[in-house]
Structures are given as C-alpha cells and as structure tokens.
Structure 1
Amino acid sequence: MAIEVGIALGISGSDPETLLDLARQAESAALSLVVIQGGEDQGLDPWTTAVWLAGRTRHIPIGVAPAPVTADPADPEQAYPAIVAKAHRSLDILVGTRLITGESGWVVAPADATADQLRSLAAAGTPVVVPARSREDVDRLAELVGGDGASKERSAAVRARRREGIDYDHVPASLADVAIEPGDAAYRSVASTYLRGGSPGLVLRPRTPAEVADAIAFARRHRHLPLGVRSGGHGISGRSTNDGGLVIDVGALNTIEILDAGRRLVRIGPGATWKQVAAALDPYGWALGSGDYGGVGVGGLATAGGIGFLSRRYGLTIDRLRAVELVLADGSPVRATTADNPDLFWAVRGAGANFGVATAFEFEASDVREVGWAQLALVSTDLEASLRRFGELASAAPRDTTVFLVTGRPRQGQSVIQLYAMVDQRDPEIIVERLTPFTELGLLAQQQVVLTSYADVMGLAGDVGAEGHQGVGEPVARSAFLPELTDAFARDAARLLRLGLVYFFQLRTMGGAIADVPTGETAFAHRTPAFQVTAMGGDQARLNTAWDGLAGHFDGLYLSFDTDVRPQRLRDAFPPPVLARLRDLKRRYDPDNLFRDNFAIDPDPIEEHTR
C-alpha cells in the first residue's frame, strides 16, 4: 500500500539552520511532509517558521497548526482573522498551495514507529509524520518506507485543504482530470468571481453536455452543499461562487458557430463572453445586444434578460433567442423553443438559473454595421435637475439612441455624471445631432465620440487571463425598474446620493423595442418601464433601508443586479401570475430545488406572504 510519510520538527530551542537542513533532507528523500511542532514560548513562532521553511525549500508541503485566531480588539497582540487569511492567500501566491494548517492534516507516529505501524496509521488516508531531530532520523524513515513512500494523485498538501461533506474520491471520471480542489495550483484562478470572493470546496469544469449531466449528478448527491453555476463569473446577484460548496463552471463550452447565414442564426456556448461573440459576428456585419460590458458570460445574461446599448433598437438579449439547450436537474438533456417545450422556453427567458444548466443558445443576430459610440463626462452643481433632464432626453430619444447614466456621491456640491451612449447610425451628423442635447446636463469636462463597430465597444472589456477573477467580499447592490423618471424620483435619488451610501448609481434607458414584446411572452415581465436603476454600496442593511424608502417610485426589479435576499425581492421581480407559473414549472422540472442558489423559485414556499 502506498503511504505518505513525513517528519515532525520540534522548534522549541532548535537551531533554524538545523531545521532547514532536516527539511531539505526530507525533500531530497521524497518524503511527503514537514510538520512544525511547538515553539510558541521559545522564541520561534510556528507560522513564521513554516513560511520561512517554505521559502527555503522547493516543493515539500509544510504543516503547521497555529493557535485559533479570533478577533479581540482589547488584545493588542491578537491577530485578526482577516489578517491571517490575507497571510494565507499571500503564501499561496508566493510558494503555491504547500501550506497545511490544522492538525487534521496529518497523524503523528511514535519516533520509533515500525513500517507496519506506519502503514496501519496511514490506512485512513492521512499522511503520517514521525518526530525527527537528526539526519539519521530522516535517513531511517526514508529507508523504512522505501518504495511505499509513493505519493497519490494529489499530495497531502492538496488533500489537507479539502472541505467537509464532499466525496472527492468519487468525482465522476469524466470530470476528474479537470476538477479543481482548494489545494490545487489553479484554485486561486477559479475560487472568486468578478465582484465576489469565494472559497468553493470543488469546481467542476464540464466540456460537453454529457459531462454537465455528470456534474449535476454529483451535485444531486451533495444537496446539502451550496451549488453555483458559472459562465463568465461576472454576476452581481448570482452565486456562481460560494464557501465550501460546489461550482459547475461551463466556461469550456464556449464555441461560436454560424448555423444559417441567411437567417443570421448563430449557436453560442454559455461559456463564451459577449466580447468574443461580438468579434465573431463583426465580419458578417451582425451584432447581438448584450448588456454594457463585453467580459460578461453568455450563459448568465441570456437566461436573465439583457438590457444593453442595442435594446431600444432590437430588444433584450432574450428577445433574440430562438432556442436553448439545457441539462435539467435529473440529468436529462432538453431543447426548448417556441414549438418544443414552449413552457420551459418561456421560463428560461428571464428565470433560467432556476431550471437547469444551459449548454447552448441559438440566437438571431441583428444587422448592425458601424455605430456611434460616445463617452461623456459632465460636472453638475444641481444633480436633481440633471437627473430630471436626463429622464426627459433619454426617454424622448429615437430608438436608435440608447444612453446610460452613471454617477456617485456628490463632492463639494458637484456631481460627476458619466454618459455612455450608442447611436445605431453611420452618419456622423446624425450621431452628433442625437447626442448634443445631453450636453445640457452639466459642464462638459470630457468627451469621446467615435464611429466604430459594436465589436470594438465590447472589446473595451479587459481579458481575464489565466489568473482568473480576483473579487473579494460580497457585493452590495439594489435594483429597480422605474416607470418614469419623475421630479420626485430625481429629488429622492439626489438625496440618496448625498447620504454617501451609494458609490455607483446607474440609469439604463429602456423603452423602444423592449416594450414591443407582450408582457406575458417571457418570464422577464417588466416590459414597460422607462429605466432600470442600480445602486451599489458597502453596507447591505443600510442600503436596504434607504432603498426601501424609494419603493413608491418603483415597479419591480431586475434580479441580475440585486443582492438583497429577502423573499419580497422574488415577488418584485416576477408579478404574481408569472411567479405562480414559474412555481408550477419548477415543480415539474426541478421539484427538489437543486438550482436554488440564485434567487430560488421554491416550488413549495412557506413564506409566500412574508416580507
């Protein structure tokens, strides 16, 4: 039986160079682990010693079990958990995932343990360490285990970071070679998302619909754990990462294929980004409206709505969807269109996260050549008046013109207003004519207006790269639909911004083609509002209180941009008849509520009338 054996080094009163010599000898002898023991009252700190040894050795894992850390502001010598966590992350970056913390990562054998004793202790699958004080001790141990010291597929350092409640030894064979555990070298690149820090227990990365089914089957066996589904990892509200749970990352399903050039029909995998889609369609003179940022993944947006720079001209992203292929909670693949599984197709367009994992989308692209693209920065001394005027101009603009407004907390009586505008026209004079009225909102401080392709606008998004997203903490955001931008809303919004609770405030202009689609045609039911509003801050409770005070101005919300998990948010997002229909479909397609981590539509709610 292959076992993992290492040495335990007592650092109380030990010479540092002797410790280093023994650690390097253990590494040369292909032992599996060096564990630091004791030392707190003898001048050497175990944590510092472990970091030092990791820096002076090459690959052997280092184990240390420092005292538990709790926040105690009254104790000036007590480290805060956040500081210790930051030190852990720093070490992972500097030397890789070689540090094992916590005594559960190994078992200590007697100094004179025999080979049979070592094998008996190792039977549970945990590395065994033997106290060593000299080079002779290390030589004896290396000779004792001989060929039995072979390491398993994942080292002791990796296995020590496994989370409770996950059957790592039975990950589906189809996914085992690309699954990422907390101790794996690539873990840091998949743990977090764009805005949210995460520490999932296992990230499964299917490459085919069949492998998606295998991942879902594994998730069904772990229903006690959170389950995130990730395409691009840009979701604000969606939980595409978690703490200790599972993540199904469909980033590898990212192909883009032209199905029918005459119909402008394209097939797109959920893992593609809208930047990639725009670049692929640009040679044909086509585009698909896709929010306001090219780094967003197709899967999340295409199942939620998609309010973007082309929406007033061509409708929401979901309005261009012609078919979707999913793997359901029971593992079965299904294709949904207006003709096949029409109820599911209706639900996916606005509430798709609750019904399965999408593996492919078919869209009808729009014929979009060059567009006018503008980024304007203005300074306003009367934010209320500027918001009110923006509402008038944006709502009255022709359908070919979509303008989004972004602002934040006023400073010294002045507000910076940023406008992002797209005009679906190729004539520079028309573009300038469409945009000129918006310069009335304040003193024009900066402007850039160009005639370019939609692909170039989406291409402004940076590439994530091999290091992945590095979000930290939890995003705090609230969302709402605004039927019209009234004087009263402008006043209350300006007051909210002056409070300093919101650092990002966005108005997305709706109307136009969005409202052409009948309200009941998709699960996204809010077709008539003039604007979608998003506010981001740093304190969820305080933002909730302030946002609740504005409720009289709103009619529903867009779940993609809301992080308030109170039950009422679901009822704000879906009017009663829509929510009732979604619950019926949930009972049919996901009765056990497997997909529940992104504003779950519980098939059997008990809080129906609670707020």
Structure 2
Amino acid sequence: MPDYGHDLRFGSFITPQNRRPEAAVDLALLSERAGLDLVTFQDHPYQPGFLDTWTLLSWVAARTERVHLAGNVLNLPLRPPAVLARSVASLDLLSGGRIELGLGAGAFWDAIEAMGGRRLTPGQGVAALSEAIDVIRGIWDADERRVLRVEGDHYSVNGAKRGPAPAHEVPIWLGAYKPKMLRLIGAKADGWLPSLGYLRPGDIPANNKLIDEAAVEAGRDPREIRRLLNITGDFRASGDGPLRGPAGRWVEQLLPLVLRDGVSTFILASDDPQDIQTFAREVAPALREAVAAGRASAGTHAAPVRPARALALRHPGIDYDALPESLAAVAVEPGDHGYEDVRSSYVWPGSPGLVLRATTPRQVADALAFARGQNVPMSVRSGGHGISGRSTNDGGIVVDVGAMNGVEVIDRERRLVRVGAGARWGEVAEALAPYGLAISSGDYGDVGVGGLATAGGQGFLGRSYGLTIDHVVGAEVVLADGRIVRADADHHPDLFWALRGAGGNMGVVTSFDIEAAEVGDVVFAAIVHDASDTAAFLESWGRLVEESPRRLTAFLSAFPGRSGGSVLAQTLIVWAGDDTDAAVPAIQPFLDLAPVLQQQAQLAPYAAVVAPHHNRHRGQAGLRSHSALVDHLDGATAAVVAGMFADGDVAMFQVRSVGGAVNDVAPDATAYAHRTQNFSLSVVAPESRHAHAERAWERLGVDAIYLSLESHGDDRLLARAFPPPTLRRLRQVKAVYDPRNVFRHNFPVTPEPGR
C-alpha cells in the first residue's frame, strides 16, 4: 500500500534546553505563526540541561491557540501510564483538543535507573508499552461505567476510576524500529514515529509491511495508522545529499516518501528560526500541492479512515460512503470519540446513526440534501435541552447547529442583536450584559436558542417584554430544498410569520436578529413555601401574580415533599429593573401566601439569573411532560393539580406567568396564537403513573398548550397548540416551503394538499 491517503501535516521538533528557557517557547510560537500543524519536544527527564517536557508542553499550550502539541516521544519508564493518561486528557481539555501522545519504550537505561526507573530488556519494554496503552485508553474511556482493571507484569491498575475523557480522540504514536515494536503499532497504536536518521534505505517499506500485517491480524485497516517522520536537513547547503539545498529540492525528495512510502507527517528537527519558517512557508504548501497532483493522477482516495471496530456500529439505511466531502470533518458516527456527547439531548437518550455538526448555513444545506436521500429519521438540534425528544432519534441523522453559536450586537442604538441558533441563552445573557441589554428567554441558561426562539420563549421578563419570538425581527433559514433565505417583514413574510411559533416545521434557522431590552440589574427573589394546602396556595398565588405590576414575572415549581402529603413550592421572581423601592412592596405579599421555609432576594445582573450550567447531554432524565395554557389559576384548575399531588401523579409541577406584554400581541401576528392566557402550566409525571396522570391532566379541559413543554406529540395536540385558523395558515405556508414534508419529525404540521 504505497499511499495511505492521510492528509499531510507538518511540525517542528524543538530541543527543550533550559539555558534560555524562553527560547523553546519562542520557537513553538514561531511554529504556530508560520503555519505548522504540530510542535513537538524530545523527552529526556534525566537530562539536567533540559526543561521537563510535560511542564513545557503545558506552558506552550497556554501560550498558543491553534497548533497541536506532543512529546517526541515521552519516556514511559519515568511517566506512569495512569497518571500520564490523566495528564494528557486534562491538557487536551484545557487546550481545546490540541494534545497528541507520542510514546517510547525507553532508552538510556543507566540514566533511567539513576532517576528511579526500572531497567527493562527490549522484550520487557515492548510488553510494558503494550500494557501502558491498555491503561491509558482505559482511563480515557470515561463512558465505561465499570472501574478499570488491567493485570500486567509491568503496569497494573486495580479498580481505578476512569476519566476524564480527552477533548478529542488523542492518537498514540510510538517511536519504534524493531519488529516487536512495529507489530505492537499495528495491533494497538495510531501512528509510527521514527527518525529518518536512524533508518536505512528500504527500512520504511519493510517496516510498513510489518505494521500492516499486524494491523490486519488485529482486525484493523492499516490505513488507521498514520506514518510520521522526524527529519533534519540544511536549506543553505549545496550538493546532492538528502534534504540539502533549497525548498524545491526538499519537495522533490519528500514527495516519494508520501506517494511511495505512505509518510503523511513530517517533523523538522531544528532550533533555527529561519529553517522553521522556510519549512512551513515554502516546503509545506509546495509538497501539499505536489501530493495532491500525484494522488489525482494515481486515483488515490484521501479521506479519514474509519476503524474497523467502528464500521460495525454503522446503522442500516444510511449510505455513509455518500457523505459529501464538505461534511466529513463535522460528521460523528457511533464509535467516534465524542459520540456520547452528541447522541442524546439533555433530557432524552438517543442513538442516531450520524450526527452532522454543521458550522455554516452551507453545511446545513448539504446536510439536509444528504439526509433527504437516506431512509431514516432526521432531527434538528440547537442547544439540545429537548423536553420534546425531537432533537435526537434512534438510527437516524441529527443535524446539529450547536457550533453556530455567535452573539453579536449589530446595532446598539436599535438594541439589535444577531444570535446563532446554536447558542445557549445563558451565553447570550453573558454576552449582552456589558451592553446593558437582555432578551427574555426561558428560565434556564442551558436551553438552546434555536428551539426556544422558534417555539415561543416564555421567560423571566415575559410580563414586561413578552415572548422571545415577539422581538425576533429577522432570521436566516435553510429551507428543505437547500436554499438559504432571509425571513423578515419584507422578505418571505409568510415564512417569517410561521417561524415564530412553528419554526421547526418550516426549515433550519441558523441565526436570529432580535431586539433586546434595556435591562441591566434586576431584583431576583427566591421563596420556598410549604404548599401542602395545594389548591388554596395555587389559587392565591395565581391571583397575586395577576394583580402584580408588569415589571414582575414569577415562575413556580412544586414538588412532593418527603413526608406524606406535603408539597414544597419554590417561587422565582424577577423584577425587570433595579428599582428596589418599587420591587420590594410587589414581592412582599408572596411571603404571606403560606408558611415560608426559605427566602432570599438580591439585586443581580440578569445574566446571573440565567447563568449557563454547561450540563452534559446524556439523556439522564427521560420524562413524560404535559402542558396547558390557562387564563387563570382558578379553583377548578387548582383542585385538579392538588388532586394529582394527592394521588402521587406528580414528580414536578410548574407554572410560568405569561400575561402582561405577552398578551399585547395580536393572536394572528405570529404562529404562537395564544394571547389571552396568563399562565403556562406543565406537569412531569413518574413513568409508573403516566397513564393515570394523563387522564387526570385531561380533567383541566384546556384547549391550548405550549408544544415546547410536551414530551410526546400527536395530531390531537396540534389542534391545541394551534387554533384552527392558525393551523390552516401553517399548512399553507408549509406547502410553499416544505411541500415534501422533510421536517416531519417535529410535531407534525403537514402541508396543505394541492398547493
């Protein structure tokens, strides 16, 4: 196999001398500025003239932004593998996924012994390295719930807790020259990292053969293993020797090492700043161009190689080989590093066959085109909080716009903000706080922008400023046919209307233009009541909210208490402004509703009220949730809820106040048409009580719901989410923009037939 088809990478190999400690750091920074992909340092912990390599890597990681870093290679006998695994994972997380792991079995044994290491024979060194790889990979496998046990002759762990997982799939490269080490690479490693100066003519193809044979024996594709090479040379020398002379001669001599011998990463061992710049700016681009031409001529397919173990996890119904090149870098499949972080929403577990983490509207369009051709469900995800469960699936495709998360104030005078659909509302609040601006947006900072800003947006500033959608003035949308359009009052006004309340049925919104409110500090109060007299408490609470000034928005969460029949209720109140003289008299009456168990109030930035929690999305709280929009918390409504608590049908009950400014908007102004109700209710039922709880909830007799708080949807719910005139209009708009019903895996608004 002459060319394994890997992308070309170029790096530097810097001496970590400590006579001028800043010199090695400066060369690393120069390598990044010059455009190299990788910076490496040799590792000789017994050498008093060198900086400690791991400390140096950590320092350089903090000083750089883009370049990847590695030891070349780390001395395993003096770096215990379990601790090394956590060190690598930690630095990878801190650096944003920029750490690679080069390992060596050890050399210079007298010096290793002098530092407390144990002398090993060559055979023992190979065995120790093999055991170390098992330990390291076991520590990184944070998704495996069992403790780690590795019984080795040289390295053992007995019940170690796993984690943390690195930010990316850290490759393990081995420095190796002998057959046993080469076979270990084929069986377990991700790369071969020798130095050209230690190789004889013909060694590279012969050693590649050993690696490839061992890989096949282990059930692996040899192309899974990258071939790296440390090189030295002289750009100023004359003559015909290897890598001597101008950059063009280097390109001529390195080209066959790629096309004939499969080397794809070249690492220049030099501490000369000029050599590093020449290598990065002249050799690297020219060699990339020459390799591309050679591969085109030979018909070599250059693409990421899936490990054989991961291919077995692919789902039927998805033609993975047809994935467009534009999506290859953003695709996550089962078995990939990071799949566990994207398979589920925060609430619902999922097992999609492919997650496409688009970073541009064009990639979203390509993802939709690909998904339309597959015989599997398709979901769209922004932040992925996902009470409805529609942002993931089993066996299908998820188009994830979470990376499109920018927040930009584009016109401070008009309070106009552009927000990426993948942002989370806590991040939006943080970004707007320095401008004295805020957007009313739910009650939890981890909720995603895209889902909430297309469904409604019942937030802590709702009675003062209305729903989130009431202040959306424009959106960038990728339509089902791949067109990228702007929707606002002047462009596609029918689509713009539908997006605000039923956007998930119409397209994929990638960004919103939203008019923010002038809000800095707010008065925030939290009160916990004993609400065991549940019906009376709810009725009084609702009446008090309706009588309160519009500046006050209150949300309530109630839970069964620990003692039989008791109910605890937490009220969160936001007074939209810093006028404490007005806020305190408005908040004070809430203390008189029932026995107070806990209370606090403070003046705080709005961003602190909805701070992001950055929870991991592992589907940890699968639930059954139902909603209702009601005009009042009257006696009949309160009695139904109190009865559900008494029967054990409630795990959590919530009330969001949605009157005031929410109801100033005409019902036909947006697809969210419920503009008379003062309260949005939701109940979470225990799975064992779900059927009984659903029957009890139906006794509310409501004809209006909020889809974002519904965990399971059907046509019956659609009629409650959208009044008949609204639903008819939505179906007409759907027929124009999604006539083939591509976006049918949301709550299903079907196109009007015959349009």
Match of 2:582 in 1: 430
Q: Is the 8 A contact 1:476 1:563 kept in 2?
A: yes
Give secondary structure in 2 for the equivalent of 1:449. Answer: strand
Give secondary structure in 1 for the equivalent of 2:371. Answer: helix
Match of 2:480 in 1: 329
Give secondary structure in 2 for the equivalent of 1:502. Answer: coil
Give secondary structure in 1 for the equivalent of 2:652. Answer: strand
1:443 matched to 2:518? The reply is no
1:308 matched to 2:459? The reply is yes
What letter matches 1:193 in structure 2? Answer: S
Q: Is the 8 A contact 2:640 2:699 kept in 1?
A: no
What letter matches 2:463 in structure 1? Answer: R
Q: Is the 8 A contact 2:212 2:222 kept in 1?
A: no
Match of 2:707 in 1: 559
Give secondary structure in 2 for the equivalent of 1:302. Answer: helix
Distance 1:417 1:94, change over 3 A: closer
Gaps of 5+ in 2: 5-102, 104-129, 138-142, 150-160, 167-209, 225-303
The one-character-per-residue Cα deviations of 1:262-301 (angstroms, maximum 9, x if unpaired) are 1011111101111111111111111110011111111111
Match of 2:662 in 1: 514
Q: Is the 8 A contact 1:484 1:530 kept in 2?
A: yes
Match of 2:524 in 1: 373
Give secondary structure in 1 for the equivalent of 2:408. Answer: strand
Match of 1:184 in 2: 336
Q: Is the 8 A contact 1:483 1:555 kept in 2?
A: no
* Equivalent-residue separation in structure 2 for 1:311 and 1:90 (angstroms): 50
* Equivalent-residue separation in structure 2 for 1:580 and 1:94 (angstroms): 52
The one-character-per-residue Cα deviations of 1:62-81 (angstroms, maximum 9, x if unpaired) are 9xxxxxxxxxxxxxxxxxxx
Match of 1:21 in 2: none
Q: 1:417 aligns with which of 569, 579, 588?
A: 569
* Equivalent-residue separation in structure 2 for 1:442 and 1:201 (angstroms): 51
Q: Offset of 1:149 from its aligned partner?
A: 3.7
Match of 1:216 in 2: 368
Distance 1:556 1:145, change over 3 A: closer
Match of 1:462 in 2: 613
* Equivalent-residue separation in structure 2 for 1:96 and 1:157 (angstroms): 19
* Equivalent-residue separation in structure 1 for 2:594 and 2:649 (angstroms): 23
Distance 1:340 1:490, change over 3 A: same
Q: Offset of 1:59 from its aligned partner?
A: 6.4
Match of 2:636 in 1: 488
Distance 1:163 1:497, change over 3 A: same
1:296 matched to 2:472? The reply is no
Q: Offset of 1:246 from its aligned partner?
A: 0.4
1:251 matched to 2:402? The reply is yes
Match of 1:389 in 2: 540
The one-character-per-residue Cα deviations of 1:184-220 (angstroms, maximum 9, x if unpaired) are 0110111111110111100001111111111111111
1:544 matched to 2:671? The reply is no
Q: Is the 8 A contact 1:2 1:150 kept in 2?
A: no
What letter matches 2:388 in structure 1? Answer: S
Distance 1:2 1:484, change over 3 A: farther
TM-score, L = length of structure 1: 0.75
Q: Offset of 1:489 from its aligned partner?
A: 1.2
* Equivalent-residue separation in structure 2 for 1:330 and 1:359 (angstroms): 15
**Matching of residues 80-91 of structure 1 within 5 Å:** none
Q: Is the 8 A contact 1:393 1:438 kept in 2?
A: yes
* Equivalent-residue separation in structure 1 for 2:308 and 2:459 (angstroms): 48
* Equivalent-residue separation in structure 2 for 1:89 and 1:259 (angstroms): 50
Match of 1:70 in 2: none
Distance 1:507 1:158, change over 3 A: same
Distance 1:142 1:219, change over 3 A: closer
**Matching of residues 156-305 of structure 1 within 5 Å:** 156-222=308-374, 224-305=375-456
Q: 1:340 aligns with which of 481, 486, 491?
A: 491
Q: Offset of 1:408 from its aligned partner?
A: 2.1
Q: 1:360 aligns with which of 497, 504, 511?
A: 511
Q: Is the 8 A contact 2:519 2:577 kept in 1?
A: no
Q: Is the 8 A contact 1:2 1:149 kept in 2?
A: no
Match of 2:291 in 1: none
* Equivalent-residue separation in structure 2 for 1:186 and 1:585 (angstroms): 38
Give secondary structure in 2 for the equivalent of 1:520. Answer: coil
Match of 2:245 in 1: none
Give secondary structure in 2 for the equivalent of 1:456. Answer: helix
**Matching of residues 53-92 of structure 1 within 5 Å:** 58=133
* Equivalent-residue separation in structure 1 for 2:603 and 2:658 (angstroms): 23
Distance 1:89 1:163, change over 3 A: farther
Q: Offset of 1:564 from its aligned partner?
A: 2.9
What letter matches 1:178 in structure 2? Answer: V
Give secondary structure in 1 for the equivalent of 2:477. Answer: strand
Q: Offset of 1:242 from its aligned partner?
A: 0.8
1:500 matched to 2:667? The reply is no
The one-character-per-residue Cα deviations of 1:118-145 (angstroms, maximum 9, x if unpaired) are xxxxxxxxxxxxxxxxxxxx99964998
Q: Offset of 1:436 from its aligned partner?
A: 0.9
What letter matches 2:588 in structure 1? Answer: T
Give secondary structure in 1 for the equivalent of 2:475. Answer: strand
What letter matches 1:306 in structure 2? Answer: G
What letter matches 1:203 in structure 2? Answer: V
Distance 1:384 1:259, change over 3 A: same
Q: Offset of 1:359 from its aligned partner?
A: 1.1
Match of 1:452 in 2: 604
Q: Report 1 or 2 for greater relative contact order, CA contacts < 8 Å, sequence distance ≥ 6.
A: 1
TM-score, L = length of structure 2: 0.61
Q: Offset of 1:172 from its aligned partner?
A: 1.5
Q: Is the 8 A contact 2:555 2:572 kept in 1?
A: yes
Give secondary structure in 2 for the equivalent of 1:200. Answer: coil
Match of 2:720 in 1: 572
Give secondary structure in 1 for the equivalent of 2:536. Answer: helix
Q: Is the 8 A contact 1:379 1:415 kept in 2?
A: yes
Give secondary structure in 2 for the equivalent of 1:572. Answer: helix
Gaps of 5+ in 1: 5-27, 29-54, 63-84, 98-137, 606-611
The one-character-per-residue Cα deviations of 1:88-132 (angstroms, maximum 9, x if unpaired) are 9999977999xxxxxxxxxxxxxxxxxxxxxxxxxxxxxxxxxxx
Q: Is the 8 A contact 1:3 1:148 kept in 2?
A: no
Q: Is the 8 A contact 2:640 2:696 kept in 1?
A: no
* Equivalent-residue separation in structure 1 for 2:579 and 2:607 (angstroms): 18
Q: Is the 8 A contact 2:443 2:459 kept in 1?
A: yes
Structure with higher Rg: it is 2
Residues paired across the two proteins, number: 489
* Equivalent-residue separation in structure 1 for 2:2 and 2:684 (angstroms): 53
**Same amino acid, percent of matched pairs:** 45
Distance 1:87 1:165, change over 3 A: farther
Distance 1:158 1:502, change over 3 A: same
Match of 1:533 in 2: 681
* Equivalent-residue separation in structure 2 for 1:323 and 1:143 (angstroms): 54
Q: Is the 8 A contact 1:3 1:149 kept in 2?
A: no
Q: Offset of 1:380 from its aligned partner?
A: 2.8
Distance 1:422 1:576, change over 3 A: same
What letter matches 1:480 in structure 2? Answer: A
1:479 matched to 2:627? The reply is yes
